[in-house]
Structure 1
Amino acid sequence: MDQRTSVRRTACAAGLALLLLTASTACTGGVEGTPGAAGLRDPYFPKLGNGGYDVTHYDLALDVDPAAHRLRGTATITARATQDLSSFNLDLAGLTVQSATVEGRPAAVNRAGRELTLRPDAEVESRLRKGRTFRTVVRYSGSPQTLTDPDESEEGWLRTADGSVALGEPTGSMAWFPGNNHPSDKASYDITVTVPKGLTAVSNGELTSRSASGTTTTYHWHIAEPMASYLATVAIGRFDTKTSTTPDGIEVFTAADPAVAADSAGILDRVPEIVEWEAERFGPYPFSATGAIVGRPGDAEYALETQSRPFFPGPPDAGLLVHEMAHQWFGDSVTPESWRDMWLNEGFATYAEWLWEEDQEGNPVQKRFDAAFDDDENWAFPPADPPTAADISQAPVYEGGAMVIHRIRQAVDDDKRFFALVRGWTKAYRHGNASTADFTAYVEKTTGQDLTELWNTWLYGGSRPDSKD
């Protein structure tokens, strides 16, 4: 081949490539999509969550047979693309995917561990442009898993004496539905659960319908306000339930296992009182429903602030109920941007316990602060910088975080202004996400004070200061 022939052929090949590229981009509106990220690089769980889209609504239809430990589910996920997408990921652990569609057309599904990659066909890909809303339907089934956290606690789908309970902090929701499993992506939910007759399925939000058909009963729960996936729950079993309303018209739904119902009745009757007490201090209750789920001791190793309806493994005392209800403001409504911001949840909820003890039992907050200061466990690491994922639920995040809140209160030096600051915080980030940087900037702007020394000493300091002052 001489040089002129080579040049002519190269030119023809380039022209053909340009023609094909032009045709391809013409079919897709002139823009080629790229894959959404498989993970949001959370400081402690880098593979958790997914990039390229924002979920606005989950519609979960579950058929559960607790005796056989089987779940069959259909997840309809409505999302908005935040980039031009060629494919995207969902988090799902263990369960088998039967099929998936995007915008009504079959999508290819690839799986690598807990990551599902969905690749829509060419016709649908042309519609997955930044800012566009799209709908994904995933059908799946299997035996849902119990997952083990870095701190060795169990979450995900937990089996109970007569059913099961789903608890998701920090990663467990992927055990029972596919989704964008990171606190930064909140959505509204419809959760419909079909269970064998005689069992009850309790979830978040409001019970909109209950219907029996043959040997099964179906419960439909609706959560209008945005919810992070780790706060979603389903508790299945035999429950004594009670429905009422608070003086402000908020629906109260409580459910207690019959084995502990009598011992739970008194504390559950205090839910409206505690909601009202916390609303005075933290601002209006952020959801249309409230309540609690009380299982048997041993159903789980911990209580959890599942949105609008915290779960307790056995009857809680007043302090624990106050703590989990305070999370409805701190964690559920104002949700951490990443798991590094966990102290914002637990510090405020722990401080709520201190406030309650002062109001109800006459135990001064300062006394609780002093005890926390003297406890060596609370100084193992800074509240805002746990060293590993196993540490995000340890003492410095809870009591260390509460000490930070008390030091802010002391810096403000005026209770009226302090509680106005707290109510302003829950209002400013209501139903949203917030980081530690958002909080410190908000406090300094609101107080007009430079609190660098407070943050460096109490929030980020690596050791106990010489003085409590």
Structure 2
Amino acid sequence: MLLTRPARPHPALRFLRRPKAALLASAVTVCLVAAGAPAEPLGVGDRIFPELGNPGYDVAAYDLALTYPGSNDKPLRAVTTIDARLTSSLDRINLDFAHGTVESVEVDGRRAAFSSAGEDLVVTPDHALPLGSVTRITVRHTSDPVAADDQDGGWVRTTDGLAMANQADAAHLVFPCNDHPSDKAMFTFHVTAPDGYTAVANGLPTGRVEAGGSTTWSYRSQHPMATELAQVSIGRSAVVRRTGPHGLPLRDVVPAADKKELEPWLAKTPDQIAWMENKIGPYPFETYGVLMAQASTGFELETQTLSLFEKDIFTEPAYPKWYIESVMVHELSHQWFGDSVSPRTWSDVWLNEGHATWYEALYAQEKADRPLQDRMKAAYGASDRWRAAGGPPARPKPPAPGQKIGIFRPNIYDGAALVLFALRQEIGEDAFERLEKVWVQENRDTSVGTADFVRLASAIGGRDLTGFFQDWLYGEKTPPMPGHPDWKQVPPPAPSDPAKKS
């Protein structure tokens, strides 16, 4: 995710978040109530989102069938099928789900009771599920878009339909799931929409069926995916296809009326992929493309194989060309850092955003003569303030109530990229570049944490870097910059005196 600016560009091109309304409270409606003890919300103990995810099972695959009614303010009919392996013996299964009406639940083809608890859907099958067994859970439900002025994740209303923005804690506003990046799974989508609409989702198309005035579009991922990276676009869209490096199929999704105007931007993706591959190795997925949505979100998002962008950043003349291209590379970089190699916990999000910011800045240096060192020196000057406001890069402060994307602060963007700059200074450019390539190759399709990065950096750097990372990632104060003892913290400007006039 990259938080982009809502107004005219500031000379420093800071990434500021647009004000957003609070996330809607849990709105699961249930039709049956499980017998026995009261249902309780569970979680996997994430420090940032303690009730996110659920223990006791590992999801292997999701199959989502969605029927769009032709209006983006009405619920979609949905069937979510989950194939999971039990890692504990369970007599109840908790799923994250918080915005829809549950009509029925089946476990292995047999009706199951269900109830709600917090933002969990709690399923009680008619028999206990033993450790090591494989089970299939089928939930028939609605998937309800939130009010247009309350968009903080889940379905995002566009001018002609819907798109998804599930980071960090919002996939369960769309479908029942184990909504934590530590549990990646395969995804299949079947999206039915009235004729005249186009539906696109993560992965590659597997079929298209027209019947009775509607079309069902099917897609399947070829690599596991975190729930927060799921994407479904429904709109009056054009799908633009081309070929990327090594024959990689590319497909972009844009408003049909704007296809010609946006084509120059779409044509940049093949060279950007080639640039990234030169830096860190082969592109990790089966396809890529950008989804340019006519919507106001305040951010761009790295949904797997189909990154979400606000269309207006490409048509607003106030945005410099180099800046827009660097934003495109930021989201592209996430396909390696955050999507293929996902965070084990949300405290590890600096690994996503720090790397994406690093390659965004490196691209701007090489393509637009925007020196990386200048940006890092400016970040160093602000780093202590960022740490005080948002926490150190690897220990971000939890978000304020109702503002779940509030974890996306400067300390995990430029503040985390600053850690990578310090690391490169510490171990040398050759070792740093080798570390980056090995990191994405060895951890492809997995979820990993900060400790894993520290171990690999120490191995490639040839010495124990635990102390170095402890200071840079967890310290309240920013350590001295290796090789730049002259870099200092810059105090914030003094507030102006409203009584004085120029």
TM-score surpassing 0.5? yes
1:383 pairs with 371, 387, 393, which one?
393
Given that 1:36 and 1:53 are in contact with CA atoms closer than 8 Å, whether structure 2 keeps it comes out as: no
Matches within 5 A, 1:128-147: 128-141=129-142, 143-145=144-146
Of 96, 105, 108 in structure 1, the residue corresponding to residue 101 of structure 2 is: 96
Alpha-carbon distance, 1:37 to partner = 7.6
Q: How does 1:205-244 map to 2 (within 5 A)?
A: 205-244=203-242
Q: Which runs of 5+ in 2 are unaligned?
A: 1-38, 315-323, 401-405, 486-502
Q: Partners in 1 of 2:64 and 2:466 — Cα distance?
A: 46
Q: How much does 1:466 deviate?
A: 5.2
Aligned to 1:24: none
Q: Which has the higher contact order (CA 8 A, sep 6+)?
A: 2
- Give SS of 1:272's match: helix
Offset, 1:465: 3.7
Larger strand fraction of residues: 1
Further displaced range: 435-444 or 36-45: 36-45
2:371 corresponds to: 364
**In the superposition, relative to structure 1, how do residues 409 and 367 fare at CA in structure 2: closer, same or farther (>3 Å)?**
same
Correspondence for 1:301: 298
Q: Distance in 2 between matches of 1:402 and 1:166?
A: 27
Separation in structure 2 between the aligned mates of residue 271 and residue 184 of structure 1, nearest angstrom: 29
Q: Given that residues 305 and 328 in structure 1 are in contact (C-alpha distance below 8 angstroms), is that contact kept between their aligned partners in structure 2? A: yes
Taking a change above 3 Å as real, the CA distance of residues 347 and 147 of structure 1, as seen in their structure-2 partners, is farther
Quote the Cα distance in structure 1 between the aligned partners of 2:194 and 2:380. 51
Aligned letter for 1:325?
L
2:60 to 45, 52, 56: 56
Matched residues in 2 for 1:70 and 1:420: separation? 49
1:262 alignment counterpart: 260
Distance 1:307 1:433 in 2: 14
Which one of the candidate residues 443, 448, 458 is aligned to 2:462? 448
Distance 2:45 2:446 in 1: 20
- Give the alignment's Cα RMSD to 1 decimal: 2.0
Match for residue 329 of structure 2 among 322, 339, 356 = 322
State whether structure 2 residue 435 is matched by structure 1 residue 425: no
When the two structures are superposed, what TM-score results if normalisation uses the length of structure 2? 0.81
Give, as a single letter, the amino acid of the residue that structure 2 aligns with 1:383: P
TM-score normalised to structure 1 length: 0.86
Match of 1:460 in 2: 474
- In the other structure, the counterpart of 1:287 is 285
Are 2:238 and 2:256, in contact at CA under 8 Å, matched by a contact in 1?
yes
Structure 2 residue identity aligned to 1:366: Q
Q: Which amino acid aligns with 1:387?
A: K
Percent identity for Structure 1 against Structure 2: 38
Between the two proteins, the alignment pairs up a number of residues equal to: 426
Name stretches of at least 5 consecutive residues in structure 1 with no aligned partner.
1-34
Take 1:232 and 1:382, find their aligned partners in 2: how far apart are those partners? 29
Give the match for residue 80 of structure 1.
85
Runs of 4+ in 1 over 6 A off after TM superposition: none
Matched position secondary structure for 1:446: helix
Q: How does 1:179-190 map to 2 (within 5 A)?
A: 179-190=177-188
CA distance in 1, matches of 2:143, 2:263: 36
User: Shift in Å at residue 463 of structure 1?
Assistant: 2.1
Supply the distance in 2 between the matched residues of 1:427 and 1:333 (Cα, whole angstroms). 10
Tell me if 1:177 matches 2:196.
no
Secondary structure, in 3 states, of the residue corresponding to 1:186? coil
Q: Which amino acid in 1 is paired with 2:399? A: A
Task: Flag the structure with larger Rg.
Answer: 1
- 1:442 deviates by 1.5
Q: Deviations over 1:318-368 (max 9, x none)?
A: 111000000000100110011111100000000001110122123332122
Residue 225 of structure 1: SS of its match in structure 2?
A: coil
Residues 3-34 of structure 1 deviation map (CA, whole Å, 9 limit, x = unaligned): xxxxxxxxxxxxxxxxxxxxxxxxxxxxxxxx
| Residues 36, 52 of structure 1: 8 Å contact kept | no
| Residue aligned with 1:343, SS | helix
